[in-house]
């Protein structure tokens, strides 16, 4: 188990590689049985790369994404985002770093139902203690929803809700955007539009994109496809 860092410790100097994992292990316990999901994952992703993670159901794709994003702590190994070791930070440092440098798009949107689209997008700025209304408006415009900011999530279609979720993920202009089955609940037309938005963010704004998908056709749009199976990763030609 990795030891927590002191509160006053500082992240290490930045490096050119955007994401790097070394000997990453993650398992779950079911009763008395331990199930290893990630088995010594070693991975490098460069700045601006568009990488898709595929594999059979239950292979550990979402677990890997959560671990890369600092949402699930590994038993062993390290995760570095642009040189900063996520799991060598204190919990407070880690939360601050995620808020500032990492965006995450969930399959089920995770919008707050009582907040408008604009208010949902502004949440990451509020967490960091600043008024991000202007940035939220800009982010909504980037996903084509500048005119829907005052609508509640229940008043939006599934595709529109996912666009709001993407706008929320990019409002702080993160270096890395993780997306977990972002088109899993959408029809083919909305899926194509969402993927177009994500790919444009990577191409036009230099965001490093890591996407979990079961759709091999979507995965072909990326720079690399990585297949996770039996806790290990192989690269697909």
Q: What is the pLDDT of residue 236?
A: 62
Please report the pLDDT score of residue 13 as a whole number.
43
Position of tokens 């029809």?
A: 187
Mean pLDDT value of segment 14-23: 84
pLDDT at 14: 44
100-137 confidence digits (pLDDT tens): 999 999 989 999 999 999 999 999 988 877 778 999 99
Mean pLDDT of 130-151: 92
Rounded to an integer, what distance in angstroms lies between the CA atom of residue 98 and that of residue 228? 24
Report the pLDDT value the prediction gives residue 10, as an integer from 0 to 100: 45
What burial letters (b/e) apply to 132-144, b meaning 16+ CB within 10 Å?
beebbbbbbebbe
Three-class SS string for 130-148? CCCHHHHHHHHHHCCCCCC
Q: How confident is the model at residue 23 (pLDDT cuts 50, 70, 90)?
A: very high
CATH architecture of the domain formed by 19-236: 3-Layer(aba) Sandwich (3.40)
How far is it, in rounded angstroms, from Cα 150 to Cα 148? Answer: 6
């Amino acid at each position: 188990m990795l030891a927590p860092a002191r509160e006053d410790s500082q992240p290490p100097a930045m490096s050119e590689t955007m994401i790097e994992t070394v000997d990453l292990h993650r398992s779950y316990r079911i009763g008395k049985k331990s199930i290893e999901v990630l088995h010594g994952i070693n991975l490098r992703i460069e700045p601006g790369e568009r990488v898709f993670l595929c594999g059979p159901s239950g292979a550990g794709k979402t677990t890997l994404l959560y671990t890369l994003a600092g949402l699930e702590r590994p038993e062993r190994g390290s995760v570095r985002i642009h040189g900063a070791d996520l799991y060598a930070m204190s919990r407070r440092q880690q939360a601050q770093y995620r808020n500032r440098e990492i965006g995450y798009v969930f399959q089920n949107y995770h919008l707050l139902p009582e907040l408008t689209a604009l208010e949902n997008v502004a949440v990451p700025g509020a967490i960091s203690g600043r008024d991000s209304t202007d940035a939220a408006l800009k982010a909504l415009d980037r996903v084509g929803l500048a005119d829907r900011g005052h609508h509640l999530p229940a008043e939006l279609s599934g595709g529109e809700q996912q666009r709001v979720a993407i706008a929320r993920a990019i409002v702080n202009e993160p270096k890395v955007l993780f997306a977990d089955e972002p088109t899993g609940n959408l029809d083919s037309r909305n899926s194509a539009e969402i993927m177009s938005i994500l790919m444009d963010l990577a191409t036009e704004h230099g965001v490093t994109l890591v996407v979990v998908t079961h759709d091999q056709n979507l995965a072909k749009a990326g720079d690399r496809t990585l297949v996770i199976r039996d806790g290990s990763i192989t690269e697909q030609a």
